[in-house]
Amino acid sequence: MIRHFLSLSSFSNRDLQALVDRAHFFSLQPQQTDQIHHLLARKIFANVFYEPSTRTRCSFEIAAKRLGADVVNFVPENSSVKKGETVYDTLKTLESLGVDGIVFRHSDDHVLDHLRDRIQLPLLNAGAGKNEHPSQGLLDLLTLHQEFGDLKGLKIAVCGDVKHSRVAGSLMVAAEMFGMEIYLCGPAALLPVPKSPVVKHAVFDDILPVVDAVMMLRIQLERHQGLDLDARAYHTQFGLNAARVARMRSDAIILHPGPFNRGVEVSDDVVEHPKSRIFKQMSNGVFARMAILEWAMDRRSK
């Protein structure tokens, strides 16, 4: 069976925990061992990003290289997309050229549903519209696991543009699987109706002292018309600043998937605050994606 990595919901709890544990294992290797560096020797992955990316694209590439694989970076802007080639024909072309897996990002929520049965090699979802971003979900779980151990019962506030966030989408899937509680905060117009009993709406300032982690989200203006608030007003109402951080529990942490807008959803001094794990999340992105690439190639037991 082809090992597509499309949604965290396609894993059992046990298999997803195994992926978190494997990512954790990679994070504990102080240096690159020869064994790790040969796990995916001679494999070639294509990075196919129809939307901008810094962290996800670079960390998939570094993860592949750390495992001994090669990477082809497909850039739609200088490709036959400009001559009218469709997404399907582009992926089929890469399949014919002999790549072993395709790391794929697109603005369409459902594009992967149409491609999954037509492409005969693993498709790895690197962000699908507003739906899911499962590799980000895995790195978020790894970061929480490193901090707190057991994920069950963790309380997480997610504040900002949750409605248009695929990062929040994957976190909510994982929360239901692991029994974490999610509190959605921010402007009412940017909050989805909760679809799971573990997800609730909350008032940011009320929930702050209660939660284990606060995940701040960027306002994803490329996906909607924006709000009736300017950046300063938004920051005052919903931004995480030093005064709000001071009200968090002593062991609570700050998360953000990036890219962050300093002075809007997070103040400048919060980004590198001792409670912030924002850069840790970025480092963990490489380890999570190493675990994903290894899983997709079904190499673990060989």
Contact yes or no for 165/217 (Cβ under 8 A) = yes
- In the structure encoding, which two tokens stand for residue 9, read together? 């919901």
| Count of residues that bind ligand NCD according to CB under 6 A | 11
Q: Based on DSSP, count helices (H) and strands (E) in the chain, helices before strands.
A: 12, 9
83 part of the active site: yes
For the four alpha carbons of 279, 39, 171 and 222, in that order, the dihedral sign comes to positive
Residues 4-23, one symbol each (x = binds ligand NCD by CB under 6 A, - = not), give: --------------------
Minimum CB distance to ligand NCD smaller for 66 or for 133: 133
Contact yes or no for 232/214 (Cβ under 8 A) = no
Q: H or E element: which one contains 183?
A: strand 181-185
29: closest CA among 55, 61, 67, 58?
67
Q: Is 163 in the site for ligand NCD (CB under 6 A)?
A: no
Among the listed residues 22, 43, 56, 145, the single catalytic one is: 56
- In the structure encoding, which two tokens stand for residue 199, read together? 């997800």
Q: Is 289 in the site for ligand NCD (CB under 6 A)?
A: no
Contact yes or no for 8/173 (Cβ under 8 A) = yes
Q: Nearest approach, Cβ of 258 to ligand NCD (angstroms)?
A: 5
Q: Is 169 in the site for ligand NCD (CB under 6 A)?
A: no
Q: What is the four-CA torsion angle of 84, 86, 91, 96, rounded to 10 degrees? A: -60
Among the listed residues 55, 92, 201, 223, the single catalytic one is: 55
22 part of the active site: no
Kindly tell me which residue out of 136, 143, 146, 276 binds ligand NCD, with binding defined by CB under 6 A: 136
65 part of the active site: no
Kindly tell me which residue out of 22, 66, 145, 166 binds ligand NCD, with binding defined by CB under 6 A: 166
Q: Is 143 in the site for ligand NCD (CB under 6 A)?
A: no
Q: Nearest approach, Cβ of 81 to ligand NCD (angstroms)?
A: 20
Contact yes or no for 100/74 (Cβ under 8 A) = no
Kindly tell me which residue out of 198, 258, 271, 299 binds ligand NCD, with binding defined by CB under 6 A: 258
218 part of the active site: no
Cα separation of 84 and 78, whole Å?
A: 12
Q: What are the CA-CA distances from residue 171 to residues 8, 98, 113, 139 (Å)? A: 9, 33, 20, 10
Q: Is 170 in the site for ligand NCD (CB under 6 A)?
A: no
Minimum CB distance to ligand NCD smaller for 131 or for 267: 131
143 part of the active site: no
Residues 43-72, one symbol each (x = binds ligand NCD by CB under 6 A, - = not), give: ------------xx----------------
Residues that bind ligand NCD (CB under 6 A): 55-56, 127, 133, 136, 166-167, 218, 220, 257-258
By annotation, the residues acting in catalysis are: 55-56, 83, 105, 133
